Structure 1
């Protein structure tokens, strides 16, 4: 039985799209023209945004309408416009954050591939045992479907295979990274502060732009900035980069732990299923073929 991986979250913004947009804006193109040129180049997301802008939406709303993941790009756009921060530089920073997050998720999923593949391979072991018994000359198939003891073994073995499959799938799903971009809240707040506003006003602007509430680490950085009397923007960018590094490290640790955790359903379910579907029918077929003597 194949081990099904969970469906990945809906595709978020492509870092390349955001970076190319930033370059076009930095070259002096208006937002509508920049999106149009990206759309002409074959970018599907840009085509949708460009169509919405042509229909009368403002650029930030058109970006936000793209769905999951794009809200951070739209928030950065709104924040930069609100405080007068350079839009191209702001989007370039968001593109770097998206690229870093994408590479981190890719690394984690590569690390998860080996233990998940091993679990998938081992899930076939009990079914292989049935064929192995038949190949060795034992009447295992008839024993499993035509004798009371064999039927019990078959039902129990199949139930254990299903349980092992679902158990392993849950473990893999928990280890799989989600689509969130670590540290993005700190990046958005840094954009707001780069416009020269106070921390309190920057927080209100970020909230109004639809961004998530700052986490405990971001609040700690702001408190440090106030107490030390130093600009918070660079501290926030450094904190965001550190958050993404931690997310990458945590993902690798989850992948490493998954290898050992997948041994639990293997020992509790898969190996007993192997005995029930492979070894037990062979023994039953031998016993049924051996005449009883007094």
Structure 2
């Protein structure tokens, strides 16, 4: 009964504290309105879409607006803060767009490198940016199941305690009475902390987005550069500078020095190798590289959904370890042991 009374007083304290806090906030707002001061309303978070923003910028550029005016107007009309622009025409994108910021900034820098119209370069990556956003949403949906399971098992010990009170077992009192329940609390708390930290790290690692530019965006930018009339060495050099990929700059230098094409494939990583290989017929035979690059982009796009499902399945498998080895034992030690001890071993 003592524990039930303490629990009831705690709930009453939380309720009246929350009520007092809300009432105080309302009084402060009323006082500010009486003084004539402006009361700032908190707006809901803007659901920013990088693809829609780029489409708006392209439309403004096509209508004759300057680069800075187009970016400022598109960003402010989307309800996002305008952070300015550097000398190369690269805008400071708000944090709501950080998932696609690197790709958009690379497109702006490429425009500065090759001298092509920004509307043309941005339009070349518009569809890919939209697909990247859709792929991100697909990954979030695929991870929702494992993450929900982890959250449920995290609060499972608390639900067990509530169930114990419901059947008339003073679980909290048994925790501090010594015996098996006290040992179970200590062991269960340790397992619970380890399980929560372990599961959060696995989820954070699966949710982490790389800083590198999307590979399809790289392909689209290379196609846009070649389509604007730039040579293969100049396009690779400009792409390396714009995207922060020195391997493309090394490939451009080798081509300018007359090195065999095989030497380029030794300078790039495994991710960039298909894109360099698609340039071989163009460099050695004089064929257009654009059809092969576009085919490469379509192949990469086709693997996005399968990759998202695979990542979610791997996360579900990895979460079995902290859930089964830590959180479930924590539930048993914290909630089940006191109930069983009070029923089967009174006084123990």
TM-score of the superposition, structure 1-length normalised?
0.79
Matched with 1:194 is: 227
- Where does residue 48 of structure 1 map in the other structure? 83
Q: Structure 1 residues 286 and 220 mapped into 2: Cα distance closer, same or farther (>3 Å)? A: same
Q: Distance in 2 between matches of 1:93 and 1:41?
A: 23
| 1:258 partnered with 2:289 | no
Match in the other structure for 1:8: none
Match of 2:57 among 10, 21, 26: 21
Query: Is the 1:31–1:59 Cα contact (8 Å) retained in structure 2?
Result: no
Higher relative contact order (CA 8 A, sep 6+): 1
**Secondary structure, counterpart of 2:302 in structure 1:** helix
Q: In structure 2, how many angstroms separate the alpha carbons of the residues matched to 1:254 and 1:40?
A: 36
- The answer on 1:185 being equivalent to 2:218 is yes
State how 1:59-208 maps to structure 2 within 5 Å.
60-61=89-90, 63=91, 68=98, 69-176=100-207, 178=209, 181-208=214-241
CA contact (8 A) 2:83 2:93 kept: no
Query: 1:84 offset after TM fit, Å?
Result: 4.2
Q: Which residues of 2 match residues 22-41 of structure 1 at below 5 A?
A: 22-38=58-74, 41=77
Whole-Å Cα distance in 2 between the matches of residues 198 and 221 of structure 1?
Answer: 15
When the two chains are superposed, the root-mean-square deviation of aligned CA atoms in Å is 3.0
> Residues 219 and 294 of structure 2 are in contact (CA less than 8 Å); yes or no, is this contact kept in structure 1?
yes
> In structure 2, what is the Cα distance between the partners aligned to 1:290 and 1:209?
73
- Number of residues paired by the alignment? 273
Runs of 4+, deviation exceeding 6 Å: none
Residue by residue, what CA displacement relative to the aligned partner does 1:48-94 show, whole Å, maximum 9, x if unpaired? 33xx4xxxx43524x26768543432332332344343432211122
Contact 2:67 2:89 in 1 (8 A): no
Which residue is equivalent to 1:245?
A: 302
Aligned-pair CA distance for 1:111: 1.6
Between 117-126 and 253-262, the greater mean CA deviation after superposition: 253-262
Partner of residue 293 from structure 2, selected from 216, 236, 260? 236
Q: TM-score, normalised by structure 2?
A: 0.68
SS at 1:279 equivalent: helix
Task: Give distance in 1, aligned partners of 2:142 and 2:299.
Answer: 21
Q: Report whether the alignment pairs 1:58 with 2:87.
A: yes
Match of 1:226 in 2: 283
Whole-Å Cα distance in 1 between the matches of residues 88 and 49 of structure 2?
15
Deviation at 1:224, TM superposition (A): 4.8
Post-superposition shift, 1:116? 0.8
SS in 1 for 2:83: helix
**Does the 8 A contact of 1:191 with 1:233 survive in 2?**
no
- Decide whether the 8 Å contact of 1:177 with 1:251 is kept in 2: no
Closer, same or farther: CA 65–123 of 1 in aligned 2, 3 Å: closer
- Does the Cα contact within 8 Å between 1:22 and 1:92 map onto a contact in 2? yes
Please identify, of 155-164 and 184-193, the stretch whose mean Cα deviation from structure 2 is larger. 184-193
User: Whole-Å Cα distance in 2 between the matches of residues 36 and 264 of structure 1?
Assistant: 49
Contact 2:109 2:242 in 1 (8 A): yes
Residues 104, 248 of structure 1: 8 Å contact kept: yes
Change (3 A) 1:274 1:105: same
